[in-house]
Amino acid sequence: MQQPKPIDPNLWTNEAQPQLIGGKLPDGKIVFPMPEGDAAAEVEQFLLSREGTLWSWTSQEFRPKLPYDGPEDFEPYLIGYVELPGEVIVETRIVNTTLDKLELGMPMALTIISFDTERSTYAFQPESAQ
């Protein structure tokens, strides 16, 4: 079987302990994702923390229209925002948990999951699920 490819090659570092790739603005502010094109001028690449706390969340119960291009065979999924202390709050898939277990401020950690048969994407899971 072929190794799944990242949904975007510039989203996270390709290593055993991957990190999301953000940017550092000239004023020190951290942004996610790393800006592209002219907007990237003067923005320094900044690797984001792998751990944070849950800021908010919801479920996606129906298959979104385009531009979503996940599997036709739709399974509801969770998304949320995870606050990386001192850095930025990132929007992400939430995995290995259920709605009733989620609460504000719970510790979360980065993981890479399969998106479809060919591609992978990033997600956060409760630290306790590791």
Partner 1 sequence: MSDVYIIGAGIHPFGRTEGRSGREQGIYAVREALADAGLKWQDIQCAFGGSSAAGSADIMVNELGLTGVAFTNILNGCATGGSSLAAAQYAVASGTFDLAMAVGFDKHPRGAFNFKPREYGLPSWYGQNGMMLTTQFFAMKIQRYMRLYGIRRETLGRVAEKAFRNGEKAAHAWRRSPVDLETIMNSQMVNDPLTKYMFCAPAEGGAAMILASQKKMNELGVTGIKIASIAVRTRPPNSFEVFQPGVSIVEGGKPTQLASAAAFEMAGIGPEDIDVAQLQDTESGAEIMHMAENGFCKDGEQEQWIAEGRTEIGGALPVNTDGGCIACGEPIGASGLRHVYENMQQLRGRASARQVPNNPKTAYSHVYGAPGISAVAILEA
List contacts with partner 1 (CB under 8 A): 7-8, 11, 22, 29, 31-33, 36, 39, 55-62, 64-70, 77, 79-81, 83-91, 93, 99, 103-104, 115, 121
Find tokens 């990386």 and name the residue: 84
Taking the complex as a whole, the smallest distance from the CB of residue 92 to partner 1 amounts, in Å, to 8
Q: How far is CA 120 from CA 5, 19, 41, in A?
A: 6, 14, 28
Query: Which CB, 26 or 86, lies closer to partner 1?
Result: 86
How far is the C-alpha of 13 from the C-alpha of 50, rounded, in Å? 11
Taking the complex as a whole, the smallest distance from the CB of residue 78 to partner 1 amounts, in Å, to 9
Query: Which CB, 87 or 109, lies closer to partner 1?
Result: 87
Query: Which CB, 84 or 109, lies closer to partner 1?
Result: 84
Task: Catalogue the E-assigned strands of 48-99.
Answer: 51-60, 77-84, 88-94
Query: Which CB, 2 or 68, lies closer to partner 1?
Result: 68
Q: Which one, of 92, 93, 96, 108, lies nearest residue 51 by Cα?
A: 108
